[in-house]
């Protein structure tokens, strides 16, 4: 069976090398006589897996020693509640709304305190990043929240907002490990792994130690959402998503082998340029995002004709290009070209798009 080019926004493409390694170890992980799926999370073998994964992630991102790394369950969406529960000591936070996930996080935060909309790009269907140089941030805010890369709408912050000294919290789910990042600029940086790092079911939270409260800011915060409980237990308060963490660890090692995040950024820029350059000169397909805010990871585009969009998606699928249909809230098409998407996949997609355009003028 041949592999398709999988442009899914998540769960998404994983490095073939990692999948092959996992397949080889499925029945017997390094002489243990069992699969990681069967292994106790208290065993020496798994303890080494999770410790190695954390160290490799710290190496890749240059995570300072005063930040805790937590491998948790529930995906990024569960952190929409955990963040205000842990951080809203003064009961107020600012949110920049640049897409569906930031909006959902904002709506969730309103259940636990005063969530203030600082800026929004909803007026143009989230097709740009608003000016964040002088936001109405006040000193009584506990944090400012962003979704750094917007999977659905294909925008990304090229520069972080001016938070005027207030802690920055960022959901980086769809740009996780796609390029170097200065972790020290964030109070909390977190992401679900199923877009660019591993299989669904794991969320990685990287939080500065002084922001992890002795007791959560919100009374009656569930134990599982209490960051201190999780941090003190080194992500092993209960059974973690063991197999997902194991795969993430393999992806971290693959990224190191590929040359680290500087090398990935260069490759991702090259891949994105191939697709964006074609979209910019095409007479049929059009990108939907303002050029200055284009994501390297998620590329939405349209023909302007819903029937023609549907035809393209169907013919692309038949040709081995999977999951190109756009999100249900925006329609059109979307190609997610995460780290593990080979450059050959993007080149093949553009050739197919050229052929489709020639046949459908």
* Residues known to be catalytic: 101, 171, 195
Alpha-carbon distance of 89 to 109, in angstroms, equals 13
Alpha-carbon distance of 25 to 38, in angstroms, equals 12
Contact between residue 154 and residue 288 where contact means Cβ atoms under 8 Å apart: yes
3-state secondary structure of 239: coil
Contact between residue 322 and residue 7 where contact means Cβ atoms under 8 Å apart: yes
75 C-beta neighbours (distance < 10 Å), count: 18
Contact between residue 226 and residue 216 where contact means Cβ atoms under 8 Å apart: yes
Residue 174: Cβ-neighbour burial (10 angstroms; 0-12, 13-18, 19+): buried
What's the token pair of residue 58? 């710290």
Q: Whose CA is closest to 241, among 14, 34, 75, 18?
A: 75
What's the token pair of residue 172? 């980086």
Question: What are the phi and psi torsion angles at 196 (to 5°)?
Answer: -140, 5
Contact between residue 36 and residue 25 where contact means Cβ atoms under 8 Å apart: yes
In the block, residue with structure tokens 């990935």: 264
């Amino acid at each position: 069976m041949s592999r398709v080019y999988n442009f899914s926004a998540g769960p998404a493409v994983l490095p073939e090398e990692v999948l092959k390694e996992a397949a080889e170890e499925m029945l017997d992980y390094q002489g243990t006589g069992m699969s990681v799926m069967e292994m106790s999370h208290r065993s020496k073998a798994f303890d080494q897996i999770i410790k190695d994964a954390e160290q490799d992630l710290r190496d890749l991102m240059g995570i300072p020693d005063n930040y805790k790394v937590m491998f948790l369950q529930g995906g990024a969406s569960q952190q929409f509640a955990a963040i205000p529960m842990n951080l809203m000591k003064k009961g107020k936070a600012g949110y920049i709304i640049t897409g569906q996930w930031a909006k959902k996080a904002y709506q969730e935060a309103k259940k636990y305190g005063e969530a203030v909309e600082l800026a929004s790009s909803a007026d143009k269907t989230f097709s740009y990043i608003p000016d964040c140089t002088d936001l109405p941030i006040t000193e009584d805010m506990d944090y400012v929240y962003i979704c750094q890369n917007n999977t659905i709408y294909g925008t990304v912050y090229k520069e972080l907002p001016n938070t005027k000294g207030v802690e920055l919290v960022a959901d980086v789910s769809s740009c996780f490990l796609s390029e170097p990042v200065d972790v020290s600029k964030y109070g909390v940086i977190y992401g679900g792994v199923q877009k660019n790092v591993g299989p669904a079911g794991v969320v990685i939270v990287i939080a500065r130690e002084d922001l992890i409260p002795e007791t959560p800011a919100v009374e009656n915060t569930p134990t599982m959402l209490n960051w201190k409980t999780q941090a003190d237990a080194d992500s092993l308060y209960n059974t973690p998503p063991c197999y997902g963490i194991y795969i993430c660890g393999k992806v971290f090692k693959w990224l190191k082998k590929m040359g680290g995040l500087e090398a990935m950024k260069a490759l991702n820029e090259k891949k994105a340029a191939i697709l964006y350059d074609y979209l910019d000169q095409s007479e049929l397909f059009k990108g939907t995002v303002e050029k200055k805010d284009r994501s390297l990871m998620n590329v939405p585009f349209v023909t302007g004709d819903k029937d023609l969009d549907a035809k393209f998606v169907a013919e692309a699928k038949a040709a081995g290009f999977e999951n190109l249909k756009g999100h249900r809230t925006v329609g059109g098409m979307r190609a997610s070209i995460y780290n593990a998407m080979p450059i050959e996949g993007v080149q093949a997609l553009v050739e197919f798009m050229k052929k489709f355009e020639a046949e459908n003028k």
